[in-house]
Structure 1
Amino acid sequence: MLRQGGVAMYAKQPKKLLIMNILDILQRYSDEKHRLSQREIGDLLRSRYGMTADRKAIKRNLMDLLEYGFGIEYTEKPRSRLNPGTGQLEENVVLTDFYLTREFTDAELRLLIDSLLFSQHLPRSQCNALVEKLKGLSSQYFRSHMKHMSKIREGQTDNRQLFLNIELLDEAIEKRKKVAFHYLEYRTDKRQYPRIRSDGSVREYVVSPYQMAAKEGKYYLICNSDQYDDVANYRMDRICDLIILEESARAFETLKGAGGCALNLEDYMKRHVYMYASGDGMARLRIAPFLVSDVIDLFGKDVTFSDENDDGITVTVYANEMSIEQFAKSYVPHVTILGPEALRVKVKGMLEQALEGYR
């Protein structure tokens, strides 16, 4: 077997491969903007696959592919041809401009690839492999347009167990079983190690898993830790040595703050802006007018705006308490917590303590 341009070539191609080679040509060299005539398909068969076929054979195999359900589009063009027997012009139809329709548009593939490149929970090698698979869903012309795309950023996870963890957690969630794992953290040598207890032993986490979700370029496991009654979030890229236990998982409805209801992922993600695990509640904030877009981006459109003037706007939001706290600290001095009083006092004390460090 020989190779030319990344395409396998046999010294003499079996005729049975003709239909497969034609399909491969359509996958590699055609799209809506790059259509192929039967002659061009024949030229590619000869130059790329070392196979010759007349137009009748090419057309017959193209029709077979259509009959088998492949999404192939083409154009019918009328053509006049002189009949040598009668000397009369005869009208017939020529099929041309063949191309293979795609499951994803190039714009959709670009969006998916961008999401991979800027995610931080995938190891670099696995991310590159996924990108190559996505590129293969379009033609070679899409690949040529991808050369200018941004390189994968530094800071991606070093944990290569991510995909295995996803499979195991899917199984555990489906079977409603608890899982156990170790949790990685970086040290000053910039390498990851399992988190340890005060006595130096590796700490084991036992949790009831409910859902996996992506947020701000990171992937989280939403679960309940055995020793607590509320919801916890763990970074998927930091979980290692995961095993499924025989013990049944605790029902989400029984957790504090669940209100006896099952997990509503959309609502949960909206309230847990920064994926912190703490209680939810109503809060009132006074923000600078230019932060309206940021508030909606973070907390959604269920917030209420009031008391608007040139100096600021009052926002009422129902969200995770630590998320509200983090938002207020991140946008100092343009955000002031008006209530609840306990949260206002807490953040005020933290800001006063931080100010001491600058004196």
Structure 2
Amino acid sequence: MSRMADDDPSRASRMSQASRTPRTPTAQIVVEILELLAAHTDREHGLTAAQIAARLGVNEKTVRTHLRAFGDMTPLGRKVGHLGRADLAHAESADPRPGWYIEPVFDTAQMRLLTDGVMLSRPDGEYLRDLIAKIYSFAGRSGQLRGLTRLDTPKNYNTEFLNNIELLNDAIAHERAITFHYCTYDIDGRLVPRRDGDGTIREYHVDPYHLMYKNNLYYLLCHMHVYDGLSYLHVDRIRDLRLDEADHSIVKRLDDFSDEPDRPFDITHHMAQRPYPVNGPAVPISMRITGPLEPLYDWFDDADVTRAGTVTRNGTARPVYEVHVVANERATLWWALQYADGGDIEIIAPSSLRERLREVGARLAATYATTDAADESSPCA
């Protein structure tokens, strides 16, 4: 938190008053008091009426009158109050300061969540630093920016990313179709546009519906006109985004993909059924889990779990659970494979998912049948 200089208040007041017109307009005083509180106070640092008067070069009685009036209202939607020493008895900062303060726009928890969300988007480093600085200042924490003096821009940063977010928001709000190029990685890890077989850059025509974070990636939920179902695209891979020139209207609305006719599409429910964002229906899935339930509830919010007994492994009793979820098969396949090493998750039904897991297991067994194959083919062997 930046601190106002505590020189001689009377001297500062005389100097400020000398440079002012004889009668400062009341509206100007009100604005300047609020600006001063916003810049120099928070829930653990206040300013006295005398300090404010000295800084603004106005009568202390005038300042007190306005401060009391602020206390009976919420200017700019923010509470103005007074901190006494008793209020600061358990302050966490090293230099708590009694006096008048204005409530920050964001509390510390909200600031942290917003900042982490900004970090996930991986924008340009300099823009990121400035944006986080604004979030911190709204939370009255501008003095904590010392660690944000330098933030690196990601190697594959999309210079169009921020502009694309604005265009996507507008297109979604006004139900307008969009056109863009979509990128993949080249051998050096750079993002390059996808191309058709003849080398022409492929162009995609899309109905945009929703922007969302999932698994630390920023997705556009949309309908690509060349497909029947929904698609989930990485926003940072979109290039040359623009509204369709011939017809701005979307081909399909999101509600057209609802599982229940005549009912709105429930996007929260839809995404909860997909540990990974993939297209296709959600089906009832049964499984048996031995041991902790973290792998389940870290990915599935609405699981139905029943305790089914106990087994002993290596002398340790472990609980066994019967679990039922409604989820996309392909997404559940990927989820189950990442926990296959422990052998604590067994898919019971549907049989189609068990068969897909068996096929993947057979391919892995064939690939790694000879454990020293890589060493034998190595020129250094």
Amino acid at match of 2:172: I
1:48 counterpart residue number: none
2:166 counterpart residue number: 167
Amino acid at match of 1:345: E
- Note the alpha carbon deviations across 1:144-179, whole angstroms, 9 max, x for none: 345468986875751132332233223322332321
Task: Tell me if structure 2 keeps the 8 A contact 1:120–1:157.
Answer: no
1:29 aligned onto 2:40: yes
1:92 counterpart residue number: none
Task: Tell me if structure 2 keeps the 8 A contact 1:122–1:237.
Answer: no
Alignment of 1:40-51 (within 5 A): 40-43=51-54, 45=55
2:129 counterpart residue number: 128
Alignment of 1:70-219 (within 5 A): 70=75, 71-74=79-82, 97-117=99-119, 119-139=120-140, 142-147=141-146, 155=154, 158-219=157-218
1:301 aligned onto 2:302: yes
Counterpart CA distance in 1 for 2:167 and 2:147 is 36
Amino acid at match of 1:332: A
Q: Percent identity?
A: 23
TM-score, length basis structure 1: 0.78
Task: Tell me if structure 2 keeps the 8 A contact 1:183–1:238.
Answer: yes
User: 1:233: how far off?
Assistant: 0.5
1:316 counterpart residue number: 324
- Note the alpha carbon deviations across 1:186-231, whole angstroms, 9 max, x for none: 2122321111122211111112222111112211111112122211
User: 1:328: how far off?
Assistant: 1.0
- Note the alpha carbon deviations across 1:259-299, whole angstroms, 9 max, x for none: 43432111011012111223321222233312x12211201
Figure out how many residues of one structure are paired with residues of the other and give that number. 323
RMSD of aligned C-alpha atoms? 3.1
TM-score, length basis structure 2: 0.74
2:264 counterpart residue number: 262
1:59 counterpart residue number: 64
User: 1:180: how far off?
Assistant: 1.3
Ranges in structure 2 where 5+ consecutive residues have no aligned partner:
6-15, 86-97, 312-317, 371-381
Ranges in structure 1 where 5+ consecutive residues have no aligned partner:
46-50, 78-95
Task: Tell me if structure 1 keeps the 8 A contact 2:207–2:252.
Answer: yes
SS in 2 for 1:299: coil
Cα 1:278–1:192 change in 2 (3 A) is same
Counterpart CA distance in 2 for 1:99 and 1:353 is 66
Larger deviation, residues 107-116 vs 155-164: 155-164
- Note the alpha carbon deviations across 1:68-113, whole angstroms, 9 max, x for none: 8423213799xxxxxxxxxxxxxxxxxx821111222123212322
Task: Tell me if structure 2 keeps the 8 A contact 1:284–1:317.
Answer: yes
Cα 1:137–1:120 change in 2 (3 A) is closer
1:223 counterpart residue number: 222
The answer to which structure has the higher strand fraction is 1
Task: Tell me if structure 2 keeps the 8 A contact 1:272–1:323.
Answer: yes
